[in-house]
Structure 1
């Protein structure tokens, strides 16, 4: 299964996947051909057939073909979004790509028009903070207009994704070994120079992550705590230069492995979002080797990875402290993410 960014001219309009879009939008085929120089994200299954399609674009000014009119702003428009759901997390992968582009472009809003019959898609959008704010009437019928304002402050950590609320929350540094880091956070590629996260189209992307650990102190984690992910040294040089902060995440839930009534319940909880295979998880259940289970949202990949040395010298972190799980002051956290090129609008403090 593969998620790729492709030119329209290289996408087969005759694939049966597009039949429902042609039926819903009389102008779809003509529009598709006109877009031959543009790109879209396409997900193909193991048989080579299309199972997902996402087209997005930047707009500036008012959106005047909806009621009420959306006032002038820089927006990301979701032009086309369709998913054949097969129990995968494809919807979340596309939502993450949408937010990656929105944050990269510095837009204020994201919007999409949807026919009310698409209940599953609407539920997905609403889960991540999209709100019905207008309607659009055309020859094809009446669509609802859903808008995600990145400045809106939702109480729910998922609804306000990708924005991180630092105010009133605790911040921690959480270290991951390189082998787990690569599997868990594919956007946070392992280099310290600027990284273009928009070009990373790894099919392993997802918004939600589950990680198991035995590190002391992590049992203090609670809903809403902010995590600065720290990749430990790869052994190719001194940790001072090779260990780096890469990402910002927000805790959804902390659980003990002992809170699950059975192995099956444990697997159902962990399997969809864990870096570990089912065999690995089964061994962990049997041995209780990693008793702490952390579920979190993967909010921000730092544009520049910040080394251990820079965090000590510029943010005042204690070189002699235990860096497996380390409490951070708000000032330290903000210092590090500013060094990492995180846009201020993504953090409420």
Structure 2
């Protein structure tokens, strides 16, 4: 699946995906025409027709056409989101894009309006911390106004996503080989020094990830623990300069591969979010070579990669430690975050 950031003028308004929007909103076609120079994320299915459409807008003024009104603040407005569900979890991938925009733009809130009849969509957004804060009534009917605070660290791991809470949690460094790293964390590829949300069109850009490994110590992680992902050298130069910290993730669950009752149970758990293909998963199940199964959320790519050399020379890391998987201090983690130019307001201490 590939998301494309496309200009409205190049999108076919006659595509069937827009039929329900034309029915729900009498002014939709006129609105679409006015947006000719703007861009939206689109996903084209195998037949060439649209299976997904997402339009986002940055606003700073008060939202006065809802009841109660929302005070002035920097927000990402989900102007239009439409999906043809095919079991692809496109909704979650669109949510990742929405959160990426909010992080990059330093927005304090995200909001959208939606008719209550779209229950599955409402449930999806509420799962990630959106709340019913107001209503909007027009000639088209009454809509819910769902609002997500980018400052609220309360609730579950998903409800506060993408914020990372380090208070009371352990923090670990986890190494990934380059071939797995790019497949698993597309925002964090080494040659993208600015993790551009516009240029990234990878089909693997999702919130949840599943990874298998054999490194010692992984069995001690707990839900909520923080992972600093470290990409090992690609062989193009010394690891001192080519191995880099790239991403911040949060553990959702740890499982031993032997806890699954069958291959089918294992495949059902791993396949939707795994970096590994079906053949690789079958081999892992047969050999039990990688017993540790990690499920985690992909929260941030560091805008600037932090080299192994910098981590050793100025951030208190020991070159003699085992860098495959190791616990790190809060001070070390915060030093990497600062050097990586991540907005420190996203880390809840």
Report TM bin, short chain.
Answer: over 0.9
Match of 1:308 in 2: 308
> For 1:21 and 1:197, how far apart are their aligned partners in 2?
26
CA distance in 2, matches of 1:85, 1:281: 25
Shift of 1:198: 3.5
1:345 positional shift: 1.5
User: Equivalents in 1 of 2:99, 2:189: separation in Å?
Assistant: 18
Cα displacement string for residues 276-324 of structure 1 (whole angstroms, at most 9, x for unaligned residues): 1111111111100000000000000000000000111121101100000
Alignment gaps of 5+ in structure 2: none
Once the two structures are superposed, what CA deviation does each residue of 1:126-155 show, in whole Å capped at 9, x if it has no partner? Answer: 011100000000000000000000111233
Cα distance in 2 between the residues matched to 1:216 and 1:295: 17
Counterpart for residue 323 of structure 1? 323
Report the counterpart of residue 122 of structure 1 in structure 2.
Answer: 122
Structure 2 length-normalised TM:
0.99
2:218 aligns to what? 218
The alpha carbon displacement at 1:236 in A equals 1.1
**1:148-227 alignment, distance < 5 Å:** 148-191=148-191, 193-227=193-227
CA distance in 2, matches of 1:302, 1:194: 8
Q: How far, CA to CA, are the matches of 1:192 and 1:69 in structure 2?
A: 40
Alignment match, 1:39: 39
Give per-residue Cα distances to partners, 1:129-187, cap 9 Å, x unaligned.
Answer: 10000000000000000000011123311111110001111100000000000110001
Report SS of the residue matched to 1:64: coil
> 1:192 deviation in Å?
7.1
CA RMSD of the aligned region, Å?
A: 0.9
Unaligned runs of 5+ in 1: none
Cross-structure match for 1:67: 67
Number of the residue aligned with 1:10: 10
* 1:116 Cα deviation after fit: 0.1
Alignment check: 8 A CA contact 1:192 1:305 kept: no
- Secondary structure at the counterpart of residue 254 of structure 1: strand
Separation of aligned partners in 1, 2:47 and 2:136: 36
Q: Secondary structure at the match of 2:319?
A: coil
Q: Helix, strand or coil: the match of 1:197?
A: coil
TM-score w.r.t. length of structure 1: 0.99
